[in-house]
Chains A and B, each alone.
Chain A
Amino acid sequence: MRRLGALLWLALVLLASGYLALRLHDGLGFRTDLLALLPREEQDPVLQRANDAVTKALGRRVLALVGHADRETARRAATTLGDALLATGQVERIGEGIDVDRLKRLGALYFPHRQSLLSDGDRALLTAGKGEEVATRALSQAFGFAGLVDAGLLRTDPFLLLPSFLTNLPFPLSRLTPDEGMLSVTENGTTWVLVSAVLAGEPFELDLQDRLVGAFDAAVRDMPGVTVKRLGAVFFAHAGSKTAITEASTLGTLSLVGTMLLVGLAFRRPGPLLHNLLALGVGMTVGLSGSLLLFGELHVAALLFGSSLIGVAVDYSLHYSASLFDPLSGSPSDRLRHVLPGIALGLVTTLIGYAALMLAPFPGLRQIAAFSIIGLVGAFLTVVLWLPSLDRARRLTHGALMLRAATGLWSFWEARRWRGVRLVLVLGCVLAGAVGLARLSADDDVRRLQAVSVELRHEQDEIQRLIGATTAAQFLLVQAADDEAALRRQEDLAATLTGLKAKGSIAGYQMPAAFVPSARTQRENRALVATALDAPLLAAQRASLGLPPAEPNSKAPEEVLTLGDALAADSVPFLRELVLGPGLHVVALQGLSDPDAVRAAVAGTAGVRLVDPTADFSALLAKYRHRALLLTGLAGLLMLPVLMWRYGWRGGLWALLPPGAALILAPAVVGLMGQDFTFFHAMALVLILSIGVDYAVFCAESGVEQQPVTMLAVWLATLTTLLSFGMLAFSAVPAVHSFGVTMLVGISIAFLFAPLAARGTRHNEATNNARLL
């Protein structure tokens, strides 16, 4: 029976290895964005779509400022950098898209509608009856020094309304000025030239990151004396994934080497070492190939957390191998029968913990959970089906000292002479728990969870200072029945936004209505031009300019410029990014310094709201922090019937006491350390519960005579867990660090209290009988 199972398991493992080899051969696609780990809640599909579109457009932008004291050198370097980026093939286009050709198309789009398009200033002048001023300005441009307008325009637009409209279009990047086809700014003798690019793919694709950032760095290296400052999600993502991948390999290697060293030192035989390696290797292989099969791709974080699985997967084989120290141990099959209830119960409770992770709709965490569940089941099956057949090891006799030392913890909880110390310890824990929990505060700001390169942040600030203001991640979403209604909404909103600009809450804004006014406004403008300019002043203006009197049919056509026309012509820069769909428009905000003021100002306006993707994510994290805590409680509740079935109701409660204490004390220690409690701290609690319950179960299952052996196994299991999960505390990624710190503290506490789990079972007939089996 076991032989058949072992063979079947072998076939399955070989299949999994083959699949993994195939996938590795094809090259694995890793995802690296932290946000992919987070749940997508489709509460409001429209909002979600707007959010995605805007975040995507912003995420694909790359800005760099190339600076040198010599204007020509700076310009040459900017061209070289742009060419280098373009040569990677990862860039859709270089430049703001404001080239001469585009400006010509822009003119061609607007020209037929010149009498319907007025700048805000001109509209105000005409409304106030100051048409004279508009006329005089046109004349001063025509007659003034070195004449600023060309003949064709003056003939067809004698009041020069169109140039006024064009120069007042709200293009962003306010401090930059076009200089022979390049946007630049001069400060303290240094000319900064802008190089901007739009990525062809997502900034979180590893391959794209490597190629683009590699080309960027190489180009910058070849420009001695030129200062280059960079800004873009791709640079942050590249730095972040570099950290994550380096950590995954160093921390993974450290925990593997540490675990093997520990096992080797404890058993001093190659057999147990090889058994543990085998269980571990099989666990990792089936875990990796299983999750690749399920998800098609793997998140870097799943890999990082998954590599920590080493510490848990090895628990079962350790427990099996530790029975070699048992003076009463018999054949390998006997030894397996001895540890089987413990490791089976340990597996079931751990799986309950991971299954709770699966309940939360987090794409990334589901991967971690799936990876862990498959890996743990794999390690368990390897222990149960393979190890007894492979085992040729004799009983170990060298461990007397080690066993005595290991039992020390058990005696600490049992011996009379430690009673005083125990009391102090428990009271200390209660006090620390109370103080720590009281001091604990939550922080869900998503920005604090990502490792952000200080250098990149500094360059970003510099760029923002130099070019004035950059587009904020926050934006206003305007929703209406159709485009015309949405445009009108924006025009009604303009006064509010101008007020916010005057207060300094924003530096500027772009809305579709500024590029294509609503049909209502275009008709009003037309009427205004006819009554306030043409009727009283046109004849005189043409005469002053030496133009023949206007022909009656020389009027521009009646039809209005529509948003559809403007989009089809693709001549207005940025417009495509602002129009998400019919009646769904974005108002981009520049230099947003006070989101609350903006939110308050638009609060009363129907169909307009401030969307703040970062704040939304933070709110989501807060929600899921609560849910993680609920899941932990739920997992505990689900474990309780299993434990009570085995140990009786009292024994079940005792078995849950050690992990329970860890669950309360770990967050308390986080509070005492002055850290804020985040979603990632909360997720660690789920694992502390499932791993801590393992230790409790191992202890509860142990007969008095096996206590030293059990304690040795629990010692080893704890140390390996600390070597893996505890290592994560040294991660530079705040989210991973938070997780690791919590694990470090929680697992230590669960271990420290583990012997208490046996208290409820000592006098329990059912368990004593069960142990005899």
Chain B
Amino acid sequence: MTRIVVFLLALLAAVPVLVAETLAAETLSEGQVLRGAFVQERFLKGFQAPLKSEGRFALVPGRGLIWRTETPFAVTTVMSPAGLVQEVKGNETMRLPAARLPFMSKLYTMLGGALTGDWKALEDMFAVERGGGADAWTLHLTPRRADDPTMPIRAIDVRGGRFVDEVDIVKPDGDRDRLTFRDQLLKAEPPTADEAALLASAGRP
């Protein structure tokens, strides 16, 4: 389960570079912060409506990701190279140190590589199909080892322009997650004190 989380973090950071090869997406670099709003919809079998949550995120290259769900209720998830922490109303509900996730260090290598234009690690795991034009591109990712029963993803579709606009993740059992991003803003500034504190909290053992 945590693997998906880590994977997505890497993906979010990597995609802009991935497409930057041929397309016009923005490249992130250290010293910048990408902030924006998201809508997450989870289409689950047997549920009348998708589980929909909304909130804001901040991606700080080299430091991590802050994912604040605001509706239907407040959950904050912080991912950093040191680990993952989830909080509800200031109470920690989950903590996974990176030391317990060997996979995570690998994905961070992938992420670090991707940020500097080396996205070989990602292509090792996924077959990437590119489509669309410079202003509206698409990516279709399928795992190279589809028969691996531990592989939690069947396919990923990414759509974007300057930034990533939409990510669609299909799971082997048919459940689907859709992430939609808007109001994204890239600023060359350090994270706020609040953000820095959250990122640091994920680093505690």
Contact = CB atoms under 8 A, between A and B. Distances in A.
Contacts of A143: 40, 42, 51, 53, 69, 72-73, 75
A146 interface: yes
B72 A155 contact: no
A180 B103 contact: yes
Contacts of B75: 140, 143-145
B149 interface: yes
Contacts of A403: none
A175 B93 CA distance: 21
A27 interface: no
A147 B177 contact: yes
Interface in A136-156: 136-137, 139-152, 154-155
A184 B104 CA distance: 13
B150 A181 contact: yes
Given A140-B86, A140-B93, A142-B42, A147 B51 contact: yes
**Majority DSSP secondary structure for residues of A touching B:** mixed
Interface stretch (A54-62, A406-414, A542-550): A542-550
A80 B47 CA distance: 46
B64 to A, nearest CB: 12
Q: How large is the interface on A (under 10, 10 to 19, 20 to 34, 35 or more residues)?
A: 35 or more
A151 B77 contact: no
Contacts of A155: 44, 46-47
A455 B173 CA distance: 50
B77 A144 contact: yes
A118 to B, nearest CB: 17
B30 interface: no
A142 to B, nearest CB: 6
Interface string B20-64: 000000000000000000001010111111110100000000000
B108 to A, nearest CB: 12
Contact of A150 (B53, B69, B171): B171
A65 interface: no
Contacts of B94: 141
B105 interface: yes
Contact of A142 (B51, B67, B149): B51
B5 A146 contact: yes
Interface in A159-177: 175, 177
B175 to A, nearest CB: 5
A265 interface: no
Contacts of A184: 102
B180 to A, nearest CB: 14
A142 B103 CA distance: 23
B48 A180 contact: no
A454 interface: no
Contacts of A618: none
B150 A145 contact: no
6 contacts: A140-B88, A143-B53, A145-B67, A146-B8, A154-B47, A155-B44
Q: Which 8 A-B pairs have the closest CB atoms?
A: A151-B44, A145-B77, A145-B67, A143-B53, A140-B75, A179-B102, A148-B1, A546-B49
Given A179-B101, A180-B148, 12 more contacts: A100-B150, A140-B93, A143-B72, A144-B53, A145-B40, A145-B86, A146-B8, A150-B173, A150-B175, A155-B44, A179-B102, A184-B102
